[in-house]
Amino acid sequence: MSMVRATRSGSASAPVTQAGSNPTGSELGAAIRSSYQGRFTQAELAARLGVAQNTISRWSTGAVEPSLDDIARIEDLCEVPRGSVLRSAGYVIDLRTVEEMIDADDNLTAEQRALLVTAYRTFQQIDH
């Protein structure tokens, strides 16, 4: 998985890779395993995600890399913070929330920042 910058629709954070970083599939597999172990068996996680158990097994060993959407679904089901799997695997060095990104945008006035943060928070409450 060679990402320069990746985002997920509806995501509250955007993963950014470390320059020169090249994590292995087994590191991603270990991060995936640690997110579900103690919460679900591979069969239970597979059933909840609507995939075959061997898919979970292949993700967990690093034989196959899941999509970013699948990683987000695993994180949601396992109730771990968004981006934690990629961070644990070494893909991510910086995760910023939407609010932090809005606050850091020099092209916005203070009033625009406040409006965007309010709109974002309102959307998050409606979405959940």
Among left, alpha and beta (phi > 0; psi -120 to 50; other), residue 38 is: left
- Do 78 and 105 sit in the same domain of this protein? no
Structure-token pair, residue 81: 């913070």
Q: Which residue has the tokens 């172990």?
A: 37
Could you list the pLDDT tens digit for every one of the 128 residues in the chain? 433 333 333 333 334 444 445 678 889 999 999 999 999 999 999 999 999 999 999 999 999 999 999 999 999 999 998 888 988 888 876 657 788 888 888 889 999 999 999 998 898 888 66
- Do 82 and 107 sit in the same domain of this protein? no
CATH number, domain containing residue 71: 1.10.260.40
For the stretch 80-89, pLDDT in tens is 988 889 888 8
Per-residue pLDDT at 95 = 57
Range of the domain at 128: 98-128
Residue 53 CA to residue 51 CA, distance in Å, equals 7
Per-residue pLDDT at 40 = 96
Dihedral sign (CA 15, 19, 25, 26):
negative
Per-residue pLDDT at 101 = 83
- Do 63 and 112 sit in the same domain of this protein? no
pTM of the model: 0.57
Residue 57 CA to residue 106 CA, distance in Å, equals 45
**Residue among 15, 104, 7 at smallest CA distance from 117:** 104
Per-residue pLDDT at 128 = 61
Q: Which residue has the tokens 């270990």?
A: 30
Per-residue pLDDT at 5 = 35
CB 20 within 8 A of CB 91: no
Q: How many domains does the chain have?
A: 2
- Do 86 and 103 sit in the same domain of this protein? no
- Do 84 and 110 sit in the same domain of this protein? no
- Do 56 and 103 sit in the same domain of this protein? no
- Do 64 and 13 sit in the same domain of this protein? yes
- Do 18 and 80 sit in the same domain of this protein? yes
- Do 110 and 55 sit in the same domain of this protein? no
